[in-house]
Structure formats: C-alpha cells, structure tokens
Amino acid sequence: MPDTFLIHAALAGIGLMIAAGPLGAFVVWRRMAYMGDATAHAALLGVALALLSDLPVALGTALVALVMAALVTLLSSRDRSGDTILGVLAHSALAVGLVAVSFAPEVRSDLSSFLFGDILTVTVADLLWIWGGSAVVFALLVWRWNPLLTATVNEELAQAAGLDPRRERLVLTVALALVVAVAIKIVGALLISAMLIVPAAAARSFARTPEAMAAMAVLIGCVAVLAGLWGSLTFDTPAGPSIVVAAAAIFAASLGFRQRAR
C-alpha cells in the first residue's frame, strides 16, 4: 500500500486532468496557448494578493485568473493576430506576480512551490477543492460542448445557427480561470499550461473525433501524473516538473505513432 501523501498526490493529479483534458483540447484547437500562459502567470499575482489581504489563496487565485483571462479574451477577440500583446501580457503577469510576492513574506520563503507546484503536500481539504473545481469545469464543458465545438469550427456558422460565439468564449474563460486556480497547487504557475496543452497535443495522434481527443487527453494526463510521481520518487526529482516531463515523453512517442499510422 503506497503512502497517504502519494495517494493524495495521485488523486490530485487525476482530479485536475478531468478538467484539464477537455479544456486543453479547446486550448489546442483554438490556439489559446498564450492565453493559458497569461492566465496561469497571473495566478501568482493572485496568490500574493490573497496572502497580503488574508483571503483564501484559492479564491484570490481564481479571481485574479478570471480578470486576466477576461482581459486576454477581450484583446484576442478584437484582433485575432494579437500574438504580441498576448506575449506581453503573459510575461508581464509573471513579472508583476514575482514583484508582488516579494511583499508577502510567507510566499517569498516558499516561492518555488507556487512556481512549480507542491503536489506531495496535498491535503484532504486541497483534494476537495481540486475535485470540486474540476467537476464544475467538466460539467460546464459537457453542458456547452456542441455550441463550443461549433463556435470553434467556424464562428459564422455558429452565429447563423443562432449561437453567440462571445458567450462560448466566456465559458472557456471561466473554465480556464478555474482550472488555473485548481492546478497551481499541483504543477505551479509556470507549468499549468503544459498540463493543458501537452496531453491534448499527444491525444491528437490517437483520435478521429473531438470527443475521442478530449477523452484521450484525460487518459494521457492521468498516465503522466502517475508516471511523473513514480519518477519523482525513484529519481528524487521535483514532482510537478516530472509529471510534465512524462507528458512530454508521451507526446514525443505519439508523434511516432502518427507517422506510422499514415
């Protein structure tokens, strides 16, 4: 029987992937990678602000992530080629977060856990928050699945069918902010978008429909979590980055699969 901390860690990672798998698929399909970065980096600012104002960390993270995601959504929907401005935002958010953190001594002493996650110290309370947040995001995506997919395929097609692409963007914005708030404890602000993008990108090789790709992303993410934890214990490496390394390895292998499938 593995230790409790390990079981908690595995449950936390799997809980995250239930939301990050399908959301990550949309991030890949809609080319929102920078938006994921900007939102995740802003989460660090959220942590600092929450600690300075005695708010719960999860709440502060979620609020600041939501503001950032909304800002990025607004900018990117106005100008589809706003790649530069997104890059500016993503990196500025990180820098502002790091500066803000210097005013919060509690975070300062433990900065790396917010940058790279601290999955091995997940508590039962953390688990409840992670699974609760993930369940909300999962339910949101399932509920809006077909409208989201239609707006992703072609916004005019969606509008002609009476859908409002702005509303679907809002759904993704909220989902992204929630996932970031859930994931910061697990993989940290720097690697959250990796857990969105890498499993979904790996899943592409094995899928013929959007639903299959989302499901495969969840599965690949869970395998990466377990493999990463195992590697972390075996080689005494940091857990969060080890999980992302495992996911990246699966992605590399998936490319070989795609080559042969063709």
Partner 1 sequence: MPLIEAQGLSVRRGDNTILTGVNFTIAPGEIVTILGPNGSGKSTLIRALIGLERPSAGAVRHRAGLRIGYVPQRLHLDAALPMTVRRFLSLPHRVSDAAAAAVLARTGVADLGGRQVVALSGGQLQRVLLARALLAEPQVLILDEPTQGLDQPGEAAFYQLLEEVRAETGTAVIMVSHDLHVVMRASDRVVCLNGHVCCEGTPEIVSEAPEYRALFGLGTGGTLALYRHTHGPDHVHDGCAHDHDHAHAHAHGPEAADA
Interacting residues with partner 1 (CB under 8 A): 28-31, 146-147, 149-150, 152-154, 156-161, 163, 201, 204, 207-213
Which of 17, 214 has the CB closer to partner 1? 214
Alpha-carbon distance values, 221 to 38, 73, 96, 97, 151 (Å): 22, 26, 30, 27, 26
Q: Quick one: 12 or 151, whose CB is closer to partner 1? A: 151
How far apart are CB 160 and partner 1 at their closest, in Å? Answer: 4
Amino acid at 121: T
Q: Which residues make Cβ contacts (< 8 Å) with residue 131, sequence separation at least 6?
A: 11, 15
| Dihedral angle over CA of 56, 195, 131, 44, nearest 10 | 0
Query: Which tokens in the block code for residue 190?
Result: 């720097």
Rounded to a whole number of angstroms, the minimum distance from the CB of residue 162 to partner 1 is: 8
Helix ranges (DSSP H) in the chain: 4-29, 33-52, 57-78, 83-101, 105-108, 111-116, 124-143, 145-153, 155-160, 165-187, 192-203, 210-235, 239-261
Asked if residue 159 lies in contact with residue 180, where contact means CB atoms within 8 angstroms, the answer is no
Smallest separation (angstroms) from partner 1 to the CB of 109? 41
Closer Cβ to partner 1, 208 or 260, answer by number = 208
Least distance from partner 1 to the Cβ atom of residue 151, Å: 9
20 or 201: CB nearest partner 1: 201
Measured from the CB atom, the residue of 126 and 168 that comes closer to partner 1 is: 168
Tell me the Cα Rg of the chain. 18
At a CB cut-off of 8 Å and minimum separation 6, what does 176 contact?
Answer: 23, 27, 32, 35, 36, 39, 65, 69
What is the smallest separation between the CB atom of 259 and partner 1, expressed in angstroms? Answer: 15
User: Is the CB of 260 or the CB of 262 nearer to partner 1?
Assistant: 262
Give one DSSP letter per residue of 48-81, joined into a string. Answer: HHHHHTT--HHHHHHHHHHHHHHHHHHHHHH-TT
Nearest residue (CB) to partner 1, 136 versus 219: 219
> At its nearest, how many Å lie between partner 1 and the CB of residue 172?
15
**CA nearest to 118, candidates 172, 183, 177:** 183
- Shortest gap between Cβ of 199 and partner 1 (angstroms)? 13
